Amino acid sequence: MSEKLVLVTGGTGFIAQYCILALLDAGYRVRTTVRSRSREAEVRAHLKMGGSEPGDRLSFVTADLSADAGWMEATTGCAYVMHGASPTPTGNQASEEEWIKPAVDGNLRVLRAARNAGVSRVVVTSAFGAICAGHGPMTRPFNEDDWSDLTAKNIWPYQKSKTLSERAAWDFIAREGQELELSAVNPVAVLGPVLGADYSHSIRLIKNIMDGQPGNPKINSCFVDVRDVADLHLRAMTHEAAKGERFLASAGESMWLADVAKVLKARMGPTADKVSTRVLPNTVVRLGALKDPALRGAVPLLGLTLNASSEKAMRLLGWTPRPREEAIVATAESLIRLGLLRGG
C-alpha cells in the first residue's frame, strides 16, 4: 500500500475538488470517483482553474454510490479516503426516502470497501445540517456534541439524510469497522472561489445578492471558505487527535444575510451596484413562499440565530480559517471572473 495515495469520492463536487487540490499540493497522489468518465475533462479543467495540472498524479475510477461496482477498485491501495460524495435528488417531488436511503447506503458502501481494502482512516464530509436542525432558538453556539433533532417539525429531507448517514457511519465503525478509523467534518455554508458553473445552495446565496435580489430574508448563517474546509479534511485525515472525532468548520460568528450584502457593498465597489442591503419583512417572505418553493425552506429559519463554534478544530488540530468576509468576497470575485452573474 502506498501511503501517498488518497481516494477522494465524488470528484465533480466543489469541496471534493478543493480537497484534491490540497492533497496534490501536500505531495499526495489522488484517485477520485466519478459516475461517468465523461466528467474527467471537466474535473481536470476545474483543477487547472484552481492552479493544478496533476497529470498522472490524479487517476479516475467510475463508481456510483447506489451500486457496489467500482468501489473495491477505488479503495484498493489507498491509505486514506475522503468521502464527500452524496446523492442529491432533483425535482421538488423528491421523497424523503429518495434523499435518505442513497445517502445512508452510500456511506456504508464506501466504509465497507475501505475497511476491506485496509484503508487506515476515512474522513466523511457531513454537514452543519446534521448538527443544527430541529433545535429552535439557541442561547449558545452549536458544537460537535449537538445532533439534529429529527423528531422536530420542518426538518428538510437534506438535513435528515445528512444526520442519518453520519450516524450510520459512526454505528458502522463501532459495530464492524475493525481497524478502520473515522473522522467527520461538518461544514457550515461553504463559500470561496468557484472553479466552474457551480450553483450549490451556499454559492447561490452570494450570486442572488450580487444579481440584485430585492432584499434579504432575515436568515442567519455561519460561513467558511472551501479552501479552509479542504485544509481541515487534510488535518482530520492524518492527525492522531482526529481519530473518532467530528469537527465543525466555521469561520467566526454567524451573520444575517443583510450583513453579508453590506460586506459585498463595501468591498466590491461598482460591481456591487445591484446589491440591496434591505431586510425583507418576514410576512413578505412567508407570502412569497406560498408560490416559490425556493423560499419555503427559509420560512422555519426566519429570525433564528445559527451560530457555530470551531473551537475544537482550532484547539485539537491547529486549524485557522480565514475571515468569513474574505470567503464572501472571494466567492463574488470568482462569479464575476467566470461570467456567472446575471448579465455577466
- Catalytic residue positions? 162
* Three-state DSSP class for residue 31: strand
User: What count of other Cβ atoms lies within 10 Å of the Cβ of residue 11?
Assistant: 28
User: What count of other Cβ atoms lies within 10 Å of the Cβ of residue 271?
Assistant: 16
The span from the CA of 336 to the CA of 341, in Å, is 6
122 burial type by CB count under 10 A (0-12 exposed, 13-18 middle, 19+ buried): buried
C-alpha cell at 213: 435580489
3-state secondary structure 227-274: HHHHHHHHHHHHCHHHCCCEEEECCCCCEEHHHHHHHHHHHCHHHHCC
Using the 8-state DSSP alphabet, how is residue 60 labeled?
Answer: E
